[in-house]
Amino acid sequence: MNSDGTQDARGTHTNPVPRPAGPPDVPAMPPRPPQAPGAPPMPDGSGFVNWLRAPRPDAAPGVWRFGHRPRPAEEPEEIPTRQLLSGALIAFLVGWLIWSLLQNGYLGGWWWVPLNLITPDSWRGADSELGETGTFLVYRGYELLVALAIMVGVARLGRWSEVWRRFVAPRFRRPAPQEAPPAPQDDPAQWNQLRAAGAVDAAERLAAEASSGLMRDVDHARILRAWQGVLSGRHSLATFSSAVLQDGAAACLHPSGERDLPARLARHDLVTGQVRLGTTVEDARNPYAYRGAGLALGPELLGTSLVAVGPAGSGKTGSVVWPVAESLCLHALAGRASVVVVGAAGAGLGPADAYDVVVRIGNPESVHDLDLYGGTIDPDEAAAILAEALVGDLADPHPGGDSRRSTTVLAQLLGPFRAVHGRFPSVPELRQLLDGAPGPRDALRKALQEAGEESLLRELDARERQSGHPGDVGSVLADRVALLDRPAFSGFFDTSGQSRPFSLKALDHPVRVRIDLPERGHADASRILARLVLAQFTASVAVREDRSLFACLVLDDATGVVTPEAVRGIQRLRSAHAGAVLTLRTLDDVPRPLRGPLLGATGCRMALSGLTPWDGQDFAEVWGKEWTEARDVTDRQIIAETPAGKALYVLRRVITGNAPTARAVTVRQVERERWSASELAHGVPPGHAVLSLTNVQGEHAPPLLVDLRS
């Protein structure tokens, strides 16, 4: 069964997705041990059950929810330690002085008046009715009451309660007791949702697998995904129950048969779907509720797309791209997502064993090929995708620009060729047609005449009339296609059916794909292929039948990829339950008119350390301004008017070295940038980033300073 509870149909799919057979590029690292070295292994599944039962309270967007302890929205006013302790000591000394003066009669006997008013005369004097002991108790009790009143007053003035809370109480605090296991009806390890639906036997089997240590986090997420298919009516309860009773925690496996990745480098929580990227810094510019909390991303945030900008070596690939790709691969194994990771060969995007399909363009050992036309059979759709890849960067960079002329030229050739040959042209054939070589065009014309395709003949005639005229884009298309018609790519982009091409139409399934681009020696061709993958991705996810599966494209280097059509495609991903992750070394790699639309189309924006001031200016503009409290402090020198005052001020200046001044403080509300261009360029430490977030529900987090190394 697949992760969604259906039978595996990969063998009947028009574009199968087999496992790669080539050797991995990067040696797989050994998995991280579940506990400290030297500790004996757990005999049962208590570790997994405790992980499953851990609290995950609701939190603001981007907060790592696993074990999170919410903080107040506003920072409480905390008195500095020195000021607090000195104030408490001074208050104690004042209270002691007052009590001493009362006891020694320096303040008179007025404080005995209340006692004299409430006690009869027979209780006072040597012949008191209470006797010597009773009189002693009355008078000493009253003195104690007055002393307590003085102590309460000076304790409130000296904030003794806060001193106790901050410095004394923690030393007597007992260790927090271990949380009691939840009630059976609230225990997630008991699979109560299955019991309520009548699948008691399946719930018992899964609970036993969890308690015995045979279940993993991916298994839990995968089975929950299959159960959601049952609740939605896509699959039957009987099929699900029989699969669970037969295979237990290994039920509803991913088509690859794998239950985990070869290794994990980041922290993941598949209950919430988050991957931890770092820790929000304890900085005054961060909201108090975020300070010290973990920063994490999940599908609900990636669904609005992410753009990360930072120079080489700032940590884009290691701290952002690979953790996100690793998380999406885990989601794919759980049947929740499909992911396509695109980057240069050897860029550190994970071992080949972590993916189902690895396309190494330009590498003769590559098992898979890339479908140049995205698996479509519509010539117009294929022409639009191919035109965007070939000359999308040459279109008018303003948001209204497009490449419709190039699309028309390609459609005039692709339609007739497919009608004759039943397939689209290969790269060499397409180059010959665009160059206007007489042999291929004459052969194509003759075949169309024999088939009686009059409408397609008119298309071909129109292409011949336009070719060679000034302003014809056919020659530009031919030059771009020539970049793909190189000896290094001779075995790729085959359309004869003899290779194993991968098409992004396969994103209807939870598939993990990595595409290695040949940036070394073929930089221009790599940019064309990156635009091709992005165009195919935005076109494919919009027509998926099952949109409950999250689809994400991770593009490690988006240099030369951002075009007007690409920006429009990214804007449409949110409604298709899909997202894109783009990284750039600088915003200068994006045409100036498209920088604002790109940052506006993505809900998550990240500026890493080392940003240039002009790049920081674009982020500062998109993050906007906020109202803040500004305090202006003015020191005014005091001039004495009397001889004694002048002498005192001279003595004070000799002792302190400063002239006596009077300080005036002005507080006002001003509107300032959340992060200025100068702060982004010079105030972000190495290994840090400033990140703003927006989820698919519209909730957003302001720009946060995050430590990506913790």
pLDDT tens, position by position, 545-567: 888 999 999 999 999 999 999 99
Closest CA to 618 of 578, 677, 563: 677
What was the pLDDT predicted at 171? 83
Return the number of other C-beta atoms located less than 10 Å from residue 688's C-beta. Answer: 23
388 and 483, same domain (yes or no)? yes
Q: What phi and psi values does residue 580 have, to the nearest 5 degrees?
A: -140, 145
Predicted confidence (pLDDT) at residue 577 exceeds the cutoff of 70? yes
Do the domain assignments include residue 434? yes
Closest CA to 701 of 62, 57, 56, 58: 62
Do the domain assignments include residue 337? no
CA 552 – CA 566 distance, rounded (Å): 15
What was the pLDDT predicted at 64? 97
What was the pLDDT predicted at 44? 61
399 and 472, same domain (yes or no)? yes
383 and 421, same domain (yes or no)? yes
Which secondary structure element, helix H or strand E, spans residue 445, and what is its range?
helix 438-451
Predicted confidence (pLDDT) at residue 168 exceeds the cutoff of 50? yes
406 and 477, same domain (yes or no)? yes
CA 396 – CA 412 distance, rounded (Å): 22
Which secondary structure element, helix H or strand E, spans residue 502, and what is its range?
strand 501-502
Do the domain assignments include residue 206? yes
Final residue belonging to a domain, choices 489, 516, 544: 489
Predicted confidence (pLDDT) at residue 60 exceeds the cutoff of 60? yes
Closest CA to 676 of 623, 636, 628, 620: 620
224 and 136, same domain (yes or no)? no
Do the domain assignments include residue 483? yes
What was the pLDDT predicted at 388? 93
150 and 210, same domain (yes or no)? no
Final residue belonging to a domain, choices 235, 250, 265: 250
Predicted confidence (pLDDT) at residue 5 exceeds the cutoff of 50? no
- Classify residue 401 by burial, with Cβ atoms within 10 Å: 0-12, 13-18, 19+: middle
User: pLDDT per residue over 75-96, tens digit each?
Assistant: 777 788 888 888 899 989 989 9
User: What does 373-442 look like in DSSP terms, one character per residue?
Assistant: TTT---HHHHHHHHHHHHHGGGS--STT---HHHHHHHHHHHHHHHHHHSS---HHHHHHHHHT-HHHHH
Predicted confidence (pLDDT) at residue 598 exceeds the cutoff of 90? yes
By the 8 A CB rule, do 336 and 549 touch? Answer: yes
Q: What phi and psi values does residue 337 have, to the nearest 5 degrees?
A: -150, 165
Overall pTM > 0.75: yes
Number of domains in the chain: 4
By the 8 A CB rule, do 530 and 561 touch? Answer: yes
What was the pLDDT predicted at 557? 92
Mean pLDDT, residues 598-611? 95
133 and 228, same domain (yes or no)? no
| Percent of the chain's residues with pLDDT above 70 | 90
Do the domain assignments include residue 641? yes
pLDDT interval class at 370 (50, 70, 90): very high
What was the pLDDT predicted at 671? 84
Q: Identify the weakest region by mean pLDDT among 75-79, 216-220, 367-371.
A: 75-79
Do the domain assignments include residue 115? yes
Closest CA to 345 of 323, 319, 364, 372: 364
146 and 207, same domain (yes or no)? no
391 and 471, same domain (yes or no)? yes
Return the number of other C-beta atoms located less than 10 Å from residue 584's C-beta. Answer: 23
Strands 688-694 and 604-608: antiparallel
What was the pLDDT predicted at 116? 77
437 and 477, same domain (yes or no)? yes
pLDDT interval class at 348 (50, 70, 90): confident
Do the domain assignments include residue 592? no
pLDDT interval class at 7 (50, 70, 90): very low
Predicted confidence (pLDDT) at residue 386 exceeds the cutoff of 90? yes
Closest CA to 676 of 595, 616, 606, 628: 616
What was the pLDDT predicted at 40? 41
7 CB-side CA count, 13 A: 4
Do the domain assignments include residue 412? yes
pLDDT interval class at 74 (50, 70, 90): confident
Closest CA to 343 of 164, 533, 501, 174: 533
pLDDT interval class at 301 (50, 70, 90): very high
Neighbouring-strand partners of residue 341: 514, 554
Residues, the chain, total?
Answer: 710
Domain boundaries, position 145: 81-158
**Maximum distance among all Cα pairs of the chain, rounded to whole angstroms:** 141
Closest CA to 236 of 571, 559, 451, 5: 5
Predicted confidence (pLDDT) at residue 270 exceeds the cutoff of 90? yes
What was the pLDDT predicted at 125? 63
Predicted confidence (pLDDT) at residue 252 exceeds the cutoff of 60? yes
Final residue belonging to a domain, choices 198, 221, 250: 250
Predicted confidence (pLDDT) at residue 240 exceeds the cutoff of 90? yes
CA gyration radius, the chain: 37
pLDDT interval class at 119 (50, 70, 90): confident
Closest CA to 433 of 470, 388, 386, 503: 386
Tokens of 351: 């071992």
User: What does 321-358 look like in DSSP terms, one character per residue?
Assistant: IHHHHHHHHHHHHTTSEEEEEEEETTS----GGG-SEE
Return the number of other C-beta atoms located less than 10 Å from residue 632's C-beta. Answer: 9
391 and 484, same domain (yes or no)? yes
